Structure 1
Amino acid sequence: MTTPSTTRDAVSYFGLEIPFMEHIGLRPLLMDNDQCRTLLAMRPDLVNSRGDIHGGTLMSALDFTLSGAARAHDPQRLGVITVDMTTHFYEPARSDLTVVGRCTRRGKSLAFCEGEIVDAAGTVVAVARAVFKLVARPAA
Structure 2
Amino acid sequence: MTSTPPSPDAISYFGIEVPFMQHIGLRPLLLDSDRCHTLLAMRPDIVNSRGDIHGGTLMSAFDFTLSGAARAHDPERLGVITVDMTTHFYEPARTDLTVIGRCTRRGRSLAFCEGEIVDTAGTVVAVARAVFKLVVRQPA
SS at match of 1:62: helix
| Equivalent position amino acid for 1:58 in 2 | L
Judge which range, 109-118 or 8-17, deviates more: 8-17
| Equivalent position amino acid for 1:34 in 2 | D
Task: Could you tell me which runs of 5 or more consecutive residues in structure 2 were left unpaired when the two chains were aligned.
Answer: 1-6
SS at match of 1:98: strand
Give the TM-score taking structure 2 as reference length. Answer: 0.94
Task: Could you tell me which runs of 5 or more consecutive residues in structure 1 were left unpaired when the two chains were aligned.
Answer: 1-6
- Counterpart of 2:3? none
- Counterpart of 1:132? 132
Compared CA separation, residues 43 and 8, structure 1 to 2 (3 A): farther
Distance of 2:27 and 2:8 partners within structure 1: 12
Q: 1:29 offset after TM fit, Å?
A: 0.5
List structure 1 runs of 4+ shifted beyond 6 angstroms.
Answer: none
The count of residues paired between Structure 1 and Structure 2 equals 134
- Counterpart of 1:25? 25
Distance of 1:16 and 1:8 partners within structure 2: 14
Report Cα offsets for 1:29-83 as digits up to 9, x if no partner. Answer: 0100000000000000110010000000000000000000000000011000000
What RMSD over aligned residues (CA atoms) do the two structures have, in Å? Answer: 1.1
Q: 1:139 offset after TM fit, Å?
A: 2.5
Give the TM-score taking structure 1 as reference length. Answer: 0.94
**Could you tell me the percent identity over the aligned residues?**
85
